[in-house]
Amino acid sequence: MSLVDEARAIRDRAYVPYSNFKVGAAIRAASGKVYVGVNVENVAYPEGTCAEAGAIAAMIAGGDTRIAEVAVIADSPEPVPCCGGCRQKLAEFADADVPVTLATMAGKTLQTTVGQILPGVFTVAHMQRD
């Protein structure tokens, strides 16, 4: 199954009583294992989590720490961009050239990379003082 298809298959499990906007995410780790996630909302709205964050949490719990590829899917007219917070979360575990596919349920896709969606990323190198 393609990574977009993995994201599509999990998307329906999203818990979205407030937005009614289901998002599915899939990460292929450097090991080859695939981890999936969905958005999980909460009545205290800021406590909700994005699909990408769920997939990252599953990856870490599964024993992987490096991302090789990402796919995100939603039922939107245009491919939905990852939110700013998720861009930083992905960058923690992915090199700038890691491919990101944003997809719609209708079949539109937008191909980008972690570096393209988060230029000027804050990294550990920025904390180094000599």
Question: Does 69 qualify as catalytic in the annotation?
Answer: no
Residues linked to residue 70 through DSSP beta bridges, in sequence order? 27, 100
Q: Is 70 annotated as a binding residue?
A: no
Residues 6 or more apart whose CB falls under 8 angstroms from that of 91 comprise 114, 118, 121, 123
Encode 108-123: b = buried (16+ Cβ within 10 Å), e = exposed: eeeebebbebbeeeee
Tell me the window of 4-12, 61-69, 77-85, 119-127 that interacts with ligand THU (CB under 6 A). Answer: 77-85
Q: Is 20 annotated as a binding residue?
A: no
Site string for ligand THU, 28-47 (x = CB under 6 A): -----------x-x------
Q: For the chain, report the end-to-end CA distance as a whole number of angstroms.
A: 48
- Contacting residues toward ligand THU, per CB under 6 A: 16, 19, 21, 23, 39, 41, 48, 50-52, 72, 80, 82-83, 86
Active site residues: 52
Q: Which residues contribute to the annotated binding site for substrate?
A: 39-45
